[in-house]
């Protein structure tokens, strides 16, 4: 089951990443539009602002060894390497993404030679195709693990947090921003059949096994052993992103790029409204988890 899912994820991002970069740039994630979601700003600046707001919220002021889980084409990895003068390893299921991220690191001088790598120079970034649930890295290797909108792709959320905990140094920080569904222990009750059908459609388009509610992530983090756990729902702050994405898709260059990118990318573009409506109805939530080892 996992291998089939991973193949779908790889195919989706292999096909769509170059088009996304062409239209949006290196950051493949939501933007931040103010706590109330009413700040009008350049779309790429909104994505950088989200990174900075997340770091501020989590109190991350320094890091030397960083793991970027679900690194895309290296947007966050390279930003964090420069921001903290850090050594960053980015992992993805997409060889196309890993190759492009490496190219980008080389272009800005953050991908050194083998001899330089052995000296542990900083800042530095390397990218690999790896399964985030079973990485080859050593116990206690990283002092900061960054997961920007990759948790939703994990077929086993418990194993994912356990693996991140294993990789963190004692005292290290784990910070995750991920798609969630609304809590089902509130007055709204359990998910309705219509809500579940809406989620199933999103899963199919974006190659997701399932998403969970933010309180469930908190519970998993507690069971895993993380301490000083904090959680927050930033759905309102990021929701305008999907309106902007839809607007950006309605131009000739984007349409031409879609047609040449293949069916997975086309299907994703045609289904942007699923996420937009999911936020509007309160079904899709944008959850944050931060914890220390």
Give the start-to-end residue ranges of the domains of the chain: 2-181+196-292
Q: How far apart are CA 128 and CA 193, in angstroms?
A: 39
Q: How far apart are CA 175 and CA 173, in angstroms?
A: 6
Decide: 17 and 73 in contact? Cβ < 8 Å. yes
pLDDT digits (tens, 9 = 90+) for 254-281: 555 554 555 555 565 657 889 999 999 9
pLDDT digits (tens, 9 = 90+) for 7-26: 999 998 998 888 788 888 89
pLDDT digits (tens, 9 = 90+) for 212-248: 999 999 999 999 999 999 999 999 999 999 888 877 7
Could you tell me the two tokens for 130?
Answer: 């790896």
CATH 3.30.70.1400 fits 2-181+196-292, yes or no: no
Predicted confidence band of residue 115 (pLDDT cuts 50, 70, 90): very low
Helices (H) and strands (E) in the chain, counts: 13, 7
- pTM higher than 0.75: yes
């Amino acid at each position: 089951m996992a291998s089939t899912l991973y193949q779908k994820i790889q195919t989706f991002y292999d096909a769509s990443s170059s088009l996304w970069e062409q239209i949006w740039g290196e950051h493949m994630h939501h933007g931040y539009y103010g706590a109330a979601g009413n700040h009008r700003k350049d779309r790429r600046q909104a994505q950088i602002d989200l990174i900075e707001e997340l770091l501020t919220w989590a109190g991350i002021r320094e890091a030397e060894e960083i793991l970027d889980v679900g690194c895309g084409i290296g947007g966050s990895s390279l930003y964090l390497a420069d921001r903290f003068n850090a050594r960053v390893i980015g992992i993805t299921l997409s060889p196309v993404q890993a190759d492009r991220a490496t190219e980008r690191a080389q272009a800005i001088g953050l991908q050194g030679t083998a001899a330089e790598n052995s000296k542990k120079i900083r800042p530095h970034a390397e990218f690999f195709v790896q399964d985030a649930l079973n990485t080859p890295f050593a116990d206690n290797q990283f002092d900061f693990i960054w997961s920007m909108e990759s948790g939703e792709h994990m077929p086993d959320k418990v194993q994912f947090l356990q693996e991140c905990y294993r990789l963190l140094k004692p005292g290290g920080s784990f910070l995750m921003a991920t798609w969630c569904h609304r809590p089902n222990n509130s007055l709204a009750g359990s998910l309705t059949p219509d809500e579940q059908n809406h989620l199933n459609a999103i899963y199919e388009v974006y190659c997701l096994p399932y998403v969970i509610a933010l309180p469930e992530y908190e519970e998993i983090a507690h069971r895993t052993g993380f301490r000083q756990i904090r959680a927050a729902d930033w759905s309102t702050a990021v929701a305008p992103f999907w309106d902007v994405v839809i607007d950006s898709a309605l131009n000739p260059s984007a349409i031409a790029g879609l047609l040449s990118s293949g069916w997975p990318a086309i299907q994703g573009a045609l289904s942007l409204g699923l996420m937009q409506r999911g936020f509007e109805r309160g079904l899709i939530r944008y959850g944050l988890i931060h914890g220390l080892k």
